[in-house]
Homo-oligomer: A and B are copies of this chain.
């Protein structure tokens, strides 16, 4: 449901068409949320039906593909958005992630598999961190809230990387201890 309001929020900046909304979200917040056409077009449709946006077909013959449909926010849309914004956000953050889901159970597998998965996550998060830091510098002088949000992204990645490195070291140490104990046992 909040995707509707996210669209209304973006339309405060300027009029946009569906495709632009998606690439805008991906470019700016894509590291935090994902969105797809299956959500955007039906939502735009229902926003239109509810009178929260208006649409104007723009047929520029020189352009590629089908004619764009420019959406603008209406007064009612702004009101509905303001109401949503002032309302207390319900529900809290949950870190739902396929890696973390597996992580809990790595004790049932070989430590080597766990280390491999951790290394892979390190590559992913390191790359993402670079991208987020880049984004942050682009937004230096922009909207305060958008910048703060970008800072959260950087903090999050930094924190996770630290945690992964520490976990890696701990698991390796534990593995070595287990191996030397096994060697001890076979010696006596």
Contact = CB atoms under 8 A, between A and B. Distances in A.
A36 to B, nearest CB: 13
A165 B130 CA distance: 25
Most buried by B among A92, A145, A149: A145
Interface string A69-93: 0000000000001101110111111
B101 A85 contact: no
A64 interface: no
B104 A149 contact: yes
Interface magnitude class on chain A = 35 or more
A133 to B, nearest CB: 16
B103 A99 contact: no
A148 interface: yes
Number of copies: 2
Given A84-B102, A94-B97, A155-B163, 17 more contacts: A5-B105, A12-B105, A85-B105, A85-B113, A86-B109, A88-B120, A89-B98, A89-B102, A92-B128, A93-B95, A96-B96, A104-B145, A144-B171, A148-B163, A152-B160, A152-B163, A155-B159
Interface of A: 2, 5-6, 9, 12, 29, 32-34, 81-82, 84-86, 88-109, 113-114, 117, 120, 124, 128, 143-146, 148-149, 151-152, 155-156, 159-160, 162-163, 167, 170-171, 174
